[in-house]
Amino acid sequence: AKPVIVAIDGPSGTGKSSTSKAVAAQLGLSYLDTGAQYRAITWWMVHNGIDLEDPTAIAAVAGKPEIVSGTDPDKPTITVDGVDVSGPIRTQEVTSKVSAVSAVPEVRSRITELQRSIAAGAEDGIVVEGRDIGTTVLPDADLKIFLTASPEARAARRSGELKGADIHATREALIKRDAADSSRKTSPLAKAGDAVEVDTTELTLAQVIECVVTLVEEKR
Ligand code: C5P
């Protein structure tokens, strides 16, 4: 089979990560979680006391941390300057601050470059998940998927993951982050014109995976 490049975009809580990992594992493709990269650079900025209300301060150090992503869908890894940050990047603090960092053009251009080189190096093909993969990072992807779900379904899934988190607070935080990601000037969260939209509200994870696997197989 020829290497296939799959872009999976959408807001949080649509099942993007679970779907992307499972599809990559099932089809023997590499996997890249681009949200983890933005979280990792945000973690580094918090760790180093950068003022995240100041985009100029963020831009000035955007190139500093070395971010390395493992692309095995069965055990995705991410390090910053050699430190494994898989755990720390999932904290509430990083989640609430990542949109301010990811909106800075200097951050986006360097992370985008990293993403393109990882995709180009994936010999058997890759599933890349994020917000702007189909529109900006890999506009020539073989297949573009845009996952959606109702805010209620997304909040329910997220609070399930966070084990007992308040569903209303989760819903508000999620809506706020999506609004920030969708309204930023540089490569906002958006559906590419040639993306296939899959509404996952009424689907099980297994059904979404099956749907995407079928679409990828049609491209191979
Ligand atoms: O997918 P995840 O929730 O881990 O993404 C975290 C954040 O990273 C998003 O809220 C967004 O601000 C940023 N992001 C982005 N572009 C991507 C992927 C993620 O701006 N391609």
User: 159: which strand partners?
Assistant: none
Backbone angles phi, psi at 166, to 5 degrees: -60, 120
DSSP letter, residue 90: G
| Assigned token pair, 23 | 């599809």
Please work out whether the CB of residue 21 comes within 6 Å of at least one atom of ligand 1: no
Mean pLDDT of 88-94: 96
Atom of ligand 1 nearest to the CA of 177: 10
pLDDT of residue 1: 67
Q: What is the pLDDT of residues 8-52, one digit of tens each?
A: 999 999 999 999 999 999 999 999 999 999 999 999 999 999 999
Q: Cα separation of 145 and 195, whole Å?
A: 5
* pLDDT band per the 50, 70, 90 thresholds, residue 109: very high
pLDDT of residue 144: 98
Q: Cα separation of 14 and 25, whole Å?
A: 19
- Determine the length of the chain: 220
pLDDT of residue 134: 98
Query: Distance, CA 1 to ligand 1 centroid (Å)?
Result: 30
SS3 37: helix
Starting from the edge strand earliest in sequence, which strands make up the sheet with 125-130, in order? 30-33, 125-130, 4-9, 143-148, 196-199
Triad 74, 77, 79: Cα angle to 5°: 175
Triad 88, 34, 61: Cα angle to 5°: 70
Most informative mutation of 20, 33, 34, 113 for ligand 1 (most atoms within 8 A of CB): 34
Burial of 164 (0-12, 13-18, 19+ CB in 10 A): exposed
Please work out whether the CB of residue 178 comes within 6 Å of at least one atom of ligand 1: no
Task: Note the pTM of the prediction, 2 decimals.
Answer: 0.97
Most informative mutation of 38, 158, 162 for ligand 1 (most atoms within 8 A of CB): 38
Asked whether the beta carbons of 65 and 28 are under 8 A apart, the reply is no
Q: What is the pLDDT of residues 113-163, one digit of tens each?
A: 999 999 999 999 999 999 999 999 999 999 999 999 999 999 998 887 777
Please work out whether the CB of residue 132 comes within 6 Å of at least one atom of ligand 1: yes
Work out the percent of the chain whose per-residue pLDDT is above 70.
99
Class of domain 4-214: alpha beta
Asked whether the beta carbons of 185 and 179 are under 8 A apart, the reply is no
Q: Cα separation of 178 and 10, whole Å?
A: 9
Binding residues: 10-18
Q: What is the pLDDT of residues 186-215, one digit of tens each?
A: 999 999 999 999 999 999 999 999 999 999
Query: Distance, CA 118 to ligand 1 centroid (Å)?
Result: 17
Backbone angles phi, psi at 114, to 5 degrees: -60, -45
Domain spans of the chain, in order of start? 4-214
Mean pLDDT of 172-182: 95
